[in-house]
Structure 1
């Protein structure tokens, strides 16, 4: 048996995804987002989170999934990526769960239209439930992180 990994479970469309708890800073309700010109369309802008300017990315846009209306369940999950904080807009933040690292398989080439490079693996939670584990360092590549670091309000 491998070690236990605590993950935040969140929803995008019909799929459930996971991010390691130690990479998550906070989960926030939707708040006003200030648009920033000349950024990729999946970068929705920035928010002021307790005095810190945090870039916000729409994960649906990042993964080329169809955009949907934000709801009362929509959340911004603020994560630490390469020494900076970035917010991810998700459809819902559902749960914290423990995963045995032995239960994480390599991702297939593509899942639900999402390229494997964005995925750390697929975790089997039980017989009929899979959790798609994100690879945060690929969700934002180095060039995009540099671009985000230059965002000023």
Structure 2
């Protein structure tokens, strides 16, 4: 059975996450900053009356900081604990991948953070993002305090 992944781009590198975790993808909207939030948080957006934290994926992957653009995309997804929005330069595709095309992260480098594995494609590699390990426990707690949900 094939797994489905949504593919997004940051600085020319392709990343993916399980399609089943994604609610929707939208064009960039205004993000309201929160002064007491952890550094990984860009701010929050209002989605149909729900306040959703916006995560700085670029910072998590040690990519250079850049200003947000109207052409950027927000990927609304669910972790085991909360809904989040991730900023991507672009969302390019949904791919199906069989188990033999996947390489688990531990087969490459033990203890690789935030990456679940790699998809081998004819045109290169796609890093599979592990959304459930994206926020540390301290960041989760800081986020809860900033959002008033603790």
TM class, shorter-length? 0.7 to 0.9
* CA distance in structure 2 between the aligned counterparts of 1:135 and 1:104, rounded to whole angstroms: 14
* TM-score (norm: length of structure 1): 0.86
**Match of residue 35 from structure 2:** 37
Runs of 4+, deviation exceeding 4 Å:
none
**Match of residue 121 from structure 2:** 125
Give the paired residue count. Answer: 146
* CA distance in structure 2 between the aligned counterparts of 1:101 and 1:143, rounded to whole angstroms: 34
* CA distance in structure 1 between the aligned counterparts of 2:144 and 2:53, rounded to whole angstroms: 8
* CA distance in structure 2 between the aligned counterparts of 1:151 and 1:24, rounded to whole angstroms: 24
Superposed displacement of residue 146, structure 1: 3.2
* CA distance in structure 2 between the aligned counterparts of 1:95 and 1:145, rounded to whole angstroms: 29
**Match of residue 17 from structure 1:** 15
Q: Which stretches in structure 1 are left out of the alignment for 5+ residues?
A: none
* CA distance in structure 2 between the aligned counterparts of 1:134 and 1:100, rounded to whole angstroms: 17
* TM-score (norm: length of structure 2): 0.88
**Match of residue 62 from structure 1:** 60
**Match of residue 91 from structure 1:** 89
Superposed displacement of residue 38, structure 1: 2.2
**Match of residue 73 from structure 1:** 71
Superposed displacement of residue 142, structure 1: 3.1
Q: Which stretches in structure 2 are left out of the alignment for 5+ residues?
A: none
Superposed displacement of residue 68, structure 1: 2.0
**Match of residue 138 from structure 1:** 133
Superposed displacement of residue 104, structure 1: 1.0
**Match of residue 146 from structure 2:** 151
**Which structure shows the bigger proportion of residues in strand conformation?**
1
